[in-house]
Amino acid sequence: AAAVPTAAAAAAAAAERESERTRRGRPADTMSFLHKIHNVAHAVGEYVTPVLQTSAFKERGVLTPEEFVQAGDQLVRTCPTWEWASGDPAKRRSFLPEDKQFLITRGVTCEHRVRALEANYSAEVEMEGGEGEDTWLAT
């Protein structure tokens, strides 16, 4: 037997559908159309732009695939939140190693969490222990 939705549940579902339909005041079909145009323009740009063979980082701020992999390897070694990803096989680029298609970071504390942690730490007070005892935190 199917459950009958309440009026409140139906209203919430309708509101959710409406919020999905609009983004920044634009209807979803308009956003979808703009997204498709952007994707086509990006694909054309990649098609007509050859893969960089010589370094142009100092002149134009762009990396060769080899420089990208070297920089990514250094980033992964020095920052534990970063890691290489292989991604969707259909979207892989032949000029990059299969297991090093893009970099992703995980476990980075968001601004809201940082503020909550700071509030918790600011409420802590270091207390002196008795003779021969360590200090302790009162929270």
- Quickly list DSSP for 127-138: E--STTPPPEEE
pLDDT in tens, 9-30: 666 666 666 655 555 566 667 7
Contact between residue 39 and residue 31 where contact means Cβ atoms under 8 Å apart: no
pLDDT in tens, 51-65: 889 998 899 999 999
pLDDT over 80 (residue 6): no
Contact between residue 92 and residue 101 where contact means Cβ atoms under 8 Å apart: yes
C-alpha to C-alpha distance for 109 and 128, rounded to whole angstroms: 31
> Position of tokens 């299969």?
98
pLDDT in tens, 69-105: 999 999 999 988 999 999 999 989 999 999 999 999 9
Half-sphere exposure of 104 (CA within 13 A, CB side): 10
Give the pLDDT band (50/70/90) at residue 139.
low
Contact between residue 120 and residue 132 where contact means Cβ atoms under 8 Å apart: no
Neighbours of 96 (CB within 10 A): 19
DSSP, collapsed to helix, strand or coil, labels residue 102 as strand
